[in-house]
Chain A
Amino acid sequence: MPLNPKIKLNPKLFDKDAEQLPIRKGYGDGLLEAGKQDKNVVALCADLTGSTMTSTFSKVFPERFVQMGIGEQSMASVASGIAAMGKIPFLASYAMFSPGRNWEQIRTTICYNNQNVKIAGAHAGVSVGPDGGTHQAIEDIAITRVIPRMTVLTPCDAIEAKKATLAAAKMKGPVYIRLAREKTPIITTEETPFEIGKAQYFFMPSGAPQVGIIAIGALVYNAMVAAKELEAEGIMATIVNLGTVKPMDEKTVIELAKTTGAIVTVEEHQIHGGMGSLVAQACAEKQPTPIEFIGVRDVFGQSGEPNELIEHYGMGVSHIKQAVKKVIARK
């Protein structure tokens, strides 16, 4: 099994009936746990308590929950005020509305103001599905990673999302946690370590690696499937899960570029300004390496089934395999 044995990933990952959970569920579970651990944890939500899983917390701690109504802009600044009094507010909505609609409030009243606020953006990516392009945030990494002080977390499954939420509560400073709507395979286990700012090797092929795949979010699963199939074809790909997009674990990224000599980045986001462009920037500065980018190419999403959309926008397993072959040819 090519799964990195040190981090105890889900051994049933490649089974047909592998367990699936929505990444956002991990946020709800993590928020509740953080609330139990620290009475200063407070939650805010803008009329989406069920679908952001904030209700997991608000049902247990109603006195520490603020129902904002559909007011994402005010929500960001109210959270700033709550943090100014020494509390740890978590605010949640769909990523399109927060950090989408309320970007300036996040920039000025949270980040410029250096307040300890955590922002959870649910329903990120085209995999939101039938709701269509209005609700598919594929720009949220770009607009959060560009703000000084912001930490950007992109958990790959519900278990990692829970750990990311707990870690966000414990660190000081603004954090954006990117969540997805659909049920996706559980890749990690409770035993898998998690540390903000640390990338992890998920897939280590049997032979000398020819390419490094850096993936985030639910697409880490597609990357794993691609790497497994490639291995059977005799192409060796190593996978790194970049659970923290910012601050990026540059050491691991450069190490991967050095050892493989070719990189493919995989994200459910615009390739402009997303994770891949950060990787490219780091490589251009420290280790020039051919890179292929999997992601949305400067268009908006549309209605459809999640898998249909992932395929349509070129983020399926076959696309990752093609990109791997292409980048190896460029070496």
Chain B
Amino acid sequence: MPHLHDEKIKFLEGKANEIRQSIIEMLLAAGSGHTAGPLDMADIFTLFYFHILKHDPKNPAWPERDRLILSNGHICPVLYAAMAHAGYFPVKELKTLRKFGSRLQGHPHREWLPALETSSGPLGSGLSQAVGMALAERMDHGKATPKFFYCFMGDGELDCGQIWEAAMLAGKEKLHNVIGIIDRNNIQIDGFTEDIMPMEPLKAKWESFGWHVLEIDGHNFEAINDAVGQAQAVFEKPSVIIAHTIPGKGVDFTERRFEWHGNPPGLGPEDVIKKGEQGKEALNELRTLGGKIKSEHQ
């Protein structure tokens, strides 16, 4: 993975900020949807769509592309926003999210938007699909194929047994080109993950299933980039990157609050900001920070 020089990091920070603004605007226009996950995954999606992925937004069906499989479909605002900013479709289309006739279905559907690799929403099935793709690829091109299959998962969805069925199979088959990215934001709808269904020791769990495990700060572009580079270099083992993220990252009043998991700005908790001002305040915060995240300036 090419090293990130300062100028590139600055560019990525700017893109991530634009993507976060788009997420807030989409959710405001939709009046429903998830806020916390999309905001906390904005940095990772930005890095993937603007640095890591081998892809061609003008030719989404390019057979040699890497595959990015979003397993936790509910964070699709960040997927749609990153794809639009990368050139897959017009940015202005983002505001059609969740509306009748929109290509941007409330949870992704690849028939509406063919550039998507899969449809997702019901949790826990993405990793199996990534594993299936990698198995098919190996049947045709052997182990040395340059294609990678990235599966983005939420930490809450690791409650699903199917994830571990897929983890077992990838471990058994030594699918080195399957790279999982877990959004370790510690929240799910009903509360904090460790209260709902403890995940820890998460690293040991994946290792025991035969995976190479990396743990990083999911808001640090260099750390994400290095981890993906290392995951790509590991052979005879699938890799998973546990990306520690701050839910709702980038907007002060949404950070670290599980109540923002499934609510859009305008319908979130109003102990800090009144409902009617949540959208405006979030956008205002993002626009005045010029790509920097507020918590880094305190």
Using a CB–CB cutoff of 8 Å, the interface residues on chain A facing chain B are 42, 63-64, 66, 68-69, 71, 73-87, 89, 104-105, 108-109, 112-114
Contacts and interface: CB of A to CB of B under 8 A. Distances in A.
A78 B110 CA distance: 17
Interface in B144-203: 161-162, 165-166, 168-169
A87 B139 contact: yes
B119 interface: yes
A85 B137 contact: yes
26 contacts: A42-B136, A66-B169, A69-B168, A69-B169, A71-B169, A74-B131, A75-B128, A76-B128, A78-B131, A78-B166, A80-B118, A80-B129, A81-B69, A81-B118, A81-B130, A81-B131, A81-B133, A83-B132, A84-B117, A84-B129, A85-B133, A86-B136, A105-B128, A109-B128, A113-B110, A114-B110
Nearest to A105: B125
Interface in B95-141: 109-111, 117-122, 125-126, 128-137, 139-140
B132 A79 contact: yes
A85 B117 CA distance: 10
Q: Which of A77, A79, A83, A105 has the most CB of B within 10 A?
A: A77
* A-B residue pairs, 10 tightest by C-beta: A81-B132, A77-B128, A74-B165, A85-B136, A81-B129, A78-B132, A71-B165, A81-B133, A82-B132, A77-B125
B121 A77 contact: no
A63 B139 contact: yes
Given A73-B128, A78-B131, 17 more contacts: A64-B139, A68-B165, A71-B162, A73-B125, A74-B131, A77-B125, A78-B129, A80-B128, A81-B133, A82-B133, A84-B117, A84-B129, A84-B133, A87-B139, A112-B109, A112-B119, A113-B119
Interface size class of B (residues with CB under 8 A): 20 to 34
B87 to A, nearest CB: 23
Contacts of B140: 85
Contact of B111 (A73, A77, A114): A114
A66 B111 CA distance: 27
B126 to A, nearest CB: 8
A73 B128 CA distance: 9
B135 A82 contact: yes
A109 B136 contact: no
Contacts of B121: 108
Given A64-B139, A108-B119, A108-B122, A80 B132 contact: yes
